[in-house]
Structure 1
Amino acid sequence: MAMRKLDCDGCTSITCSSTLEVMEQDVAKNVKTAYHRVADRGMSACLFGSGGTCCRNCNMGPCQIIDGVDEMIGICGATADTVAARNFARVVAAGSAAHTDHAREMVRGFLDTAKGHGPHQIKDVEKLKSLAEVFDIVTEGREVKDIAIELGEKALSEFGKQDNTPISMLKRAVPKRQAIWNKLGIAPRGIDREVVEMMHRTHMGVDQDYENIMLQASRCALADGWGSSMLSTELTDIMFGTPVPRRAIVDLGSLKPDQVNICVHGHEPLLAESLCIAAQEKDMLEMAANHGAKGINLVGVCCTGNEILMRRGIPVAAGFIQQEIVLATGAVEAMVGDVQCLMQSLVEVANNFHTDIITTNYRAKMPGGVHIQFEEADALNSAKSILAHAIKNFKKRGKFFIPQDKKVDVVVGFSHETINNMLGGTFRASYRPLNDNIINGRIRGVAAIVGCDNFKLDDNVHEIIVRELLK
């Protein structure tokens, strides 16, 4: 199926170029992607759904709400403000739950590593000690193993914490910010607790005050950002190494014609790191050679791709909206995913080729996919089983097309620690130069431009925001 629309909302000029080149090839003629589904829908989005005023929170509905029209409030009397706040808050709760589940797995994996189980190790001891201090753990004169185990146990308890004191990671915020959160009553008390309370309060007949709902949504978001997400990031660095600047490449040209191409997709670095280790093992390389391949080429897709990009320099072949396109090359033996952001359509695309979609997490199975459960307690052997399945597909590869000139050079790995060292030097790391220039007005502020690409928006909006901030 030829591409009919490549002034596509959602992709940059870079991704449009490589996407178009692949989709114009004969090998991709029967592939239907999200680009096509957007163009073929033939109907606009529901105005009530788009505006957040469709309520399905109880069995009296669904109710469509129109702000200011008395006859068009909920059967229970819920107004547009209440319904929109509830719907938004439930989205916040779902996102927080996803990051929380991710973080819980990272903490469990960290505990296993601390106890000497699995292929991973404690790589950043200084960051381990720094994080331990946040949890009031004594580090002086103690073995790294003992510090790590105590940290893992205390971190795990943060998820189910039941008292009303704030979660430990909030101590990292500046005192003035903590004071604001405490004044508003939105300092999170337990990571899981805020998600549960959010779902309760947004049910029919509970919290009807949109401002009060939004305050709890803020608390739920803080439990995610300052609790689960920050905790997961720190433990990932401690186990796999804090990123430092390195050169790498991205885009579809990172696929290799003479090697087993395996896309790693999802969010949990435990799987990706284990695959990276297993792919360098002698028995795996020999197996690839016996099947006619000159090596094993891991490439990233989406978030987990960024993890191995910045720590290992492994290329990112595609972002979220290109995940189907990388399969449309016909050069991928397997796409391996764990949780979050895998399109269900991947199996349909893969069916045009020799490619397998391998799911690895019991939470996230896919009809038509191959499920090989990744066992963290036996991570290396699990990873080898996954790689072996992909390697066996190499001989089945048919016609393929790799846009080999579509590679972009990037420099990645600018962690907090790296920036600190760049500003103040390795021995006197400090944000002082940045702080001083914000105070004197030479620098107006710091902004993070973050977010997945989306078919509803042109990806260049990030560039527009940056240009406006630089004015």
Structure 2
Amino acid sequence: MSDLSHQRSADPAAIEMLNLAEKEQYETIWDRLEKQQPQCGYGQLGTCCRLCTMGPCRIDPLGEGPTHGVCGATADTIVARNLARMAAVGASSHSDHGRSAALLLKDVATGRNTDYRITDVEKLQAVATRLGVITEGRSFPEIANDVADIALGCFGKQDETPLPFTEKYLLPKRFQLFEDVEKQLLKATGKKMGILPRGIDREVVDILHRTHFGTDADPLSLMIQAVRCSIADGWGGSLIATELQDILYGTPTINTAKANLGVIDAEWVNIIVHGHEPSLSEKVVEMALSEEMQQAARKIGAKGVNIVGLCCTGNEMLMRQGVDMAGNVLHSELAIMTGAVEAMVVDVQCIYPSLANLSTCFHTKFITTSEQATIPGAIHIQFEDEHANEIAKRIVQTAVDAYPERDQGKVYIPSITSSAIAGFSVEEILRVLGGSVAPLIEVIANGTIKGVVGIVGCNNVKVKQDLYHKELTKHLIEKDILVVGTGCWAIGAAKAGLMNLDAQSMAGDGLKAVCQQ
């Protein structure tokens, strides 16, 4: 095996595929990173500003060159502006996901969309009660309509009061802490700086406004607004997405699945769903598993249709449907290189533009579906919620039709998988604990375990794939710290065998004892 492949990934399946890529001269994200070296040091430090046409300006971090931009901005101002804009972009993408869920729930509640339904009525009632929506004597659609209206109102709200979801879901002590910090900031600086978000879209626009030429130059107020915008996402848009998707598609429960490229099956029509919004993938899974599509696949010589997930859309399908995972974001190119993927179906976020070109080396149909994420060279099948069944069926049929075009000489699938136990929603965790977090608090209070750590985040091609996620997790559980997480970390942990019962053997004595109770 190539030493270079071992330097790039800690995943044995990825190493196999990277060796194949080197042999066949398939370009990967690692190759493109190498061609970018050396990357701009100013950009890496955040001391480069191109927000106005007087720039771009660069500040020398060593103090030997320019110390101010043309407008007079310092390095601290430039770094704060750049970081705030990154927060605005992240909050926009995550929160737009929540907006989509709210709009769909509204359409389902009012009868405009009949392709989806309210799946978890208990979750609907729980969310409604928390938000102060009257439930007694009312139909589920009526309740759902009010919940959707409150969620949608969080995006465009214009007054100074906090978001309803933030106010109702934050712990009272945390909410009070944020209010106290706002008062302390005003007292210490004389400047009005808010922590609690007023409107999701408003906080994003606020950042774009204050980072415009000649506006906010105070690193502190820039960072406070970045925090406010981030809370608008975490306790607004992303929270809305989680709660409303549970209502629409069902709250996750514990299930088992397999993870890594070995879930791709050479004898089946293979479809990969990739991205972040489950409204598409839920329907693609439903149609792929239908008897009609399974028969269509068998008629052309396949055993059936095999659907697997990638990235966060894959996580959604794993938690609710038990769909196997092909990998995290750095596996997206490697999965296509197996030569056995009939279609990769994507929605938004974490979609490499390179996938369209790579797919032309194989029979794979690379299908984009969102007007927000169109990629030159892809097949675009516009997904619309109101015609979800029809469009999802068309997507699956496109994959089935591609199967006879497969070049068997190019098929190479690493026979590597790990089992994973997933589906730990808040409700499922409480159920396992007997309806209360008291047992968990007790073992933390008596020192049996040291605490709980959440790990979330994507792979970065600059870091050896999965290594940091895997080693950090191992270190924490060895120290009797319970780990929970999601995103690419969860998939990396699943591939490494850290999400099955065998991982108990790696835990410290205290955590191991808790797991065995």
Residue identity in the other structure for 2:97:
H
Deviations 1:358-407 (A, max 9, x none): 00011111111000001110100010111111111100000233435211
Which residue pairs with 1:30 in the alignment? 25
CA offset digits 1:404-455 (Å, max 9, x no partner): 52111111111111111111x2xxx001122234344444332101111111
Cα distance per residue 1:140-189 (max 9 Å; x no partner): 22111110111112211111001110001122111221112223221000
Contact 2:336 2:364 in 1 (8 A): yes
| Contact 2:267/2:303, CA 8 A, preserved across alignment | yes
C-alpha distance in 2, partners of 1:127/1:149?
Answer: 14
Q: CA deviation at 1:25?
A: 4.3
Q: CA deviation at 1:461?
A: 1.8
CA distance in 1, matches of 2:405, 2:308: 20
Verify: 1:63 aligned to 2:50, yes or no. no
The whole-number CA distance in structure 1 between the counterparts of 2:98 and 2:394 is: 25
1:48 partner amino acid: Y
In the alignment, which residue of structure 1 is the partner of 2:173?
176
Q: 1:282 — aligned with what? A: 291
Q: How many residues align?
A: 461
1:3 is displaced (CA, Å) by: 6.2
Q: Map residues 274-423 of structure 1 onto 2, 5 A cutoff.
A: 274-398=283-407, 399-403=409-413, 405-423=415-433
Residues 256, 322 of structure 2: 8 Å contact kept: yes
Q: Are residue 167 (structure 1) and residue 167 (structure 2) matched?
A: no
Matched to 1:417, the amino acid is E
Alignment of 1:3-152 (within 5 A): 5-9=4-8, 11-12=9-10, 15=11, 17-25=12-20, 29-41=24-36, 43-67=37-61, 68=63, 71-116=66-111, 117-152=113-148
The CA distance in 2 between the partners of 1:100 and 1:50, in whole Å, is 26
Is residue 162–residue 196 contact of structure 2 (8 Å, CA) maintained in 1? yes
- Give the 3-state SS of the residue equivalent to 1:7 in structure 2: helix
The TM-score normalised by the length of structure 2 is 0.85
Partner Cα separation in structure 1 for residue 3 and residue 218 of structure 2: 47
Which protein has greater RCO, CA pairs closer than 8 Å, 6+ apart?
Answer: 1
Name the amino acid aligned to 1:422.
V
C-alpha distance in structure 2 between counterparts of 1:260 and 1:96, whole Å: 36
* Contact 1:5/1:39 (8 A) holds in 2: no
Which of 144, 149, 156 is residue 153 of structure 1 equivalent to?
Answer: 149
The 10-residue stretch of structure 1 (23-32 or 84-93) with the greater mean CA deviation from structure 2: 23-32
Query: Is the contact made by 1:249 and 1:409 (CA closer than 8 Å) also made in structure 2?
Result: yes
Alpha-carbon distance between aligned partners in 2 of 1:310 and 1:208, rounded to the nearest angstrom? 44
Report if the CA contact (8 A) 2:355-2:366 is conserved. yes
- The 3-state SS of whatever aligns with 1:181 is helix
Post-superposition offset of 1:110: 1.6
Aligned to 1:203: 212
Match in the other structure for 2:451? 445
- Counterpart of 1:256 in structure 2 is 265
Local SS of the residue matching 1:159: helix
> What TM-score do you get using the length of structure 1 for normalisation?
0.94
Q: C-alpha distance in 2, partners of 1:151/1:191?
A: 17
- Percent of paired sites with the same residue: 43
| Counterpart AA for 2:455 | I
Structure 2: unaligned runs, 5 residues or longer: 183-193, 480-517
Structure holding more helix per residue: 2
Query: How far did residue 64 of structure 1 move?
Result: 0.2
Conserved in 2, the CA contact under 8 Å of 1:273 and 1:308? yes
Deviates more, 1:73-82 or 1:403-412: 403-412
Describe the SS at the equivalent of 2:282.
Answer: helix
Partner of residue 221, structure 1? 230
Structure 1: stretches of 5+ with no match in the other structure = none
Residue 461 of structure 1 is matched in structure 2 by 468
**Shift in alpha-carbon separation, 1:38–1:3, aligned structure 2, 3 A:** farther
What's the CA shift string for 1:180-211, capped at 9, x where partnerless? 22232210000111000011111121111101
| CA–CA distance in structure 1, aligned partners of residues 141 and 2 of structure 2 | 55
- Post-superposition shift, 1:351? 0.9
Pair 37,70 (structure 1): closer, same or farther in 2 beyond 3 Å: closer
**Alpha-carbon separation, structure 2, partners of 1:466 and 1:252:** 22
Alignment check: 8 A CA contact 1:265 1:305 kept: yes
| Cα distance, 1:93–1:383 mapped onto 2, change above 3 Å | same
Cross-structure match for 2:187: none
The one-letter amino acid paired with 2:41 is: L
Q: Can you list the C-alpha shifts for 1:106-150, whole angstroms capped at 9, x where unaligned?
A: 111122222342332222212111111232200122111110111
* Paired position in structure 2 for 1:236: 245
